[in-house]
Chains A and B, each alone.
Chain A
Amino acid sequence: MITVGDVVEKLAAKVLAGEQQLDRHVTGGYVGDLLSCVMAGASAGDLWITVQGHPNVVAVASLVGLSGIVVSEGARVDPVTLEKAKLEGIPILSSPRRSFTLIAALVALGVKAAD
């Protein structure tokens, strides 16, 4: 099974927070920018792709037990978000690529969809 660290390497993503947690397993994926949808739909262990970069994404990731967050399309990440991510131990990656491209790359890496 692939880890968040593998994703960093294979997708050439930048690690903004959570360097210590890159050994976490990525058991699935979720994409979306509406936080309530993520709360309802994502599963523990999922890697979450979003353009949201404000501090609340960390709370959502922590509550759902996500393996990490990929902020796509070069969206800006609030410095407070990174501080919270460090506190909660949530890896935050950044990529200039579009969400759709990232999903395609993750699927090619073997990340399975839940449904």
Chain B
Amino acid sequence: MKARYSGNDAATQQEFTKVQELIYELRVDQVMTTPVITLSPESPMNEAKELMRFHRVSGLPIANDGAIRGILSIEDVIRWLERGGGESPAADWMTRKVQTVKGDEAAVQAIAKFGRYKVGRLPVVDRTGAMIGIVTSGDIIGRALRVLDARYREEETRRGSARCTLDELVGEGSAFVLRYEVAPKDFQHAGYAATRVKRVLDGLGMDRKIVRRAGIAAYEAEMNLSIHTDNGGVLLAEIAPEAVVIEATDEGPGIVDVSQALTAGFSSAPDWIRELGFGAGMGLNNMKNAADRFDIESEPGKGTTVRIQIDLNAGRGAQ
């Protein structure tokens, strides 16, 4: 049997590196829990036990006026219970030597201290020594996972919008062409080709204004093929590193007076088509306005070709 390798190890290693970066990047005061539940040294152990149970915490700082006097952990409570659990102040059972971590230190400092002092939680203090929160390893892991999740989503979105550049894809001086056949009077599918063209341009990460202009031009050209032709036509979108060209070709009936057809508001669409919201007499105008270079050729009885060129490097932004 042949050995097979599936490449998950690299991905896992990469994630580890990201987590390591994060624990250096995240500050303790960004991950700590605040406010802190505290008890005074005089508080009875029974109260400490109930407080831990109620808040589901495994340790409590013991403080006087914001100054840390000690820390009482669940192990201390167990010790007290084993000795009979009698009335006794927290001060008699707490650990007096308390390790703390500063709020503006990196989370990695807290992690190092969890290991070094074998503790599960560390009170967080500011530079004056006043307690401002408490941090557990769970806090750091939870926060790191949320940050990683958010970044992962961001990256996915970015990847989705620009997989590669056009130059990489087709090579310099080359182009690729999308070709769609547009059926006559088929308004159920009309708009399909333009939507596809837009999606491809979006996928290439093209400037949104360019995508919009190309989308408008393709849509109007597609609509004209659908509304006005006898047998439909062909819509081409030629995508090259220097320009996007939309071209619509049909075999008739052709336009009798091209300059009249170019007048805004002039329409030869029948009433039933106008009722659908088409035939506003804006189609050719919209194409012309979207184009850096607009050409139309028509001959009655032969057909029409409309060509819309949108330059990618001309720096003419949007409409």
Contact = CB atoms under 8 A, between A and B. Distances in A.
A55 B276 contact: no
A54 B282 contact: no
A69 B208 CA distance: 21
A52 B195 CA distance: 19
Prevailing SS type, chain A contact patch: helix
Contact of A44 (B212, B281, B282): B212
Interface residues of A, number: 23
B12 to A, nearest CB: 32
Residue of B190, B215, B277, B283 with most chain A CB atoms under a 10 A cut-off: B277
Contacts of A63: 191, 194-195, 198, 212, 215-216, 219
Nearest to A81: B188
A36 B286 contact: yes
B195 A59 contact: yes
B180 interface: no
A64 interface: yes
Contacts of A34: 277-278, 280, 282
Interface string A15-53: 000000000000000000111110110001000001010
A65 B216 CA distance: 11
A54 B219 contact: no
A60 interface: yes
B212 to A, nearest CB: 7
A54 B280 CA distance: 16
Contacts of B283: 36
B187 interface: yes
Contact of B277 (A33, A40, A44, A88): A33
B287 to A, nearest CB: 10
Nearest to B193: A59
B198 A36 contact: no
A43 B15 CA distance: 40
Contact of B191 (A37, A52, A56, A65): A56
Interface of A: 33-37, 39-40, 44, 50, 52, 54-60, 62-65, 80, 88
Interface of B: 187-188, 190-192, 194-195, 198, 208, 212, 215-216, 219-220, 223, 276-278, 280-283, 285-286, 289, 319
